[in-house]
Amino acid sequence: MKVIETPVQGLLIIEPDVKSDHRGYFFESWQAERYKKAGVKTHFIQDNESQSTQGVVRGLHYQLEPWAQAKLVRVVEGRILDVALDLRKGSPTFGKWFGLELDGDSKKQLYIPRGFAHGFSVLSKKAIFSYKCDNFYNNSFERCVNINDPDLAIDWRLGNIEPVISEKDRNAPFFSQAEMNFNFT
């Protein structure tokens, strides 16, 4: 397994060792001791999976403390642009986003610690997206930053495809008005 630090402190790209032969492939998508040695010391308690079609943009979602969630995200099938937005006040990258293409072929993962908003756009005809969380979902603490915030200027890499966005995401506040309670440590 190879771990790559990103320009945003705490965000890690993980390239697992994938064994392939004429039968297909095998890899460990999570192994607590190995990931802990690599810097992911998070205790995950929930797995989620979604399936979306090309042009869908989900996000930028997060939960306020004490229900914030760290995530380990990956694509089972298809290709997406995954985006993490730093919401940690005092961070040198506060208000900056990091994007990474993830796909079912490479098996790359992105570790997103607490204090980030997260979203993705589907670049292939279909994508199955899977992620681990270290805290349970709590609707009362869920928040969102608008994916079309001009100050963030995120290129969702959809070209001429009209984004498919939920009503909740479409009406989310811009970053400057979003509620957040995270501090950089």
| Terminal Cα distance for the chain, rounded | 27
Within 8 A by CB and 6+ apart from 171, the residues are none
Residue 137 annotated to the active site: no
Which helix (H) or strand (E) segment holds residue 36: the answer is helix 32-37
Within 8 A by CB and 6+ apart from 12, the residues are 3, 4, 5, 6, 38, 39, 40, 110, 111
Q: Tell me which of 35, 61, 111, 118 is the catalytic residue.
A: 61
129, 75 in Cβ contact below 8 A? Answer: yes
Q: Tell me which of 35, 62, 111, 131 is the catalytic residue.
A: 131
- Burial of 76 per CB tally in 10 Å (0-12, 13-18, 19+): middle
Residue 62 annotated to the active site: no
Cα(156)–Cα(120) distance, rounded to whole angstroms? 8
Active site residues: 61, 131
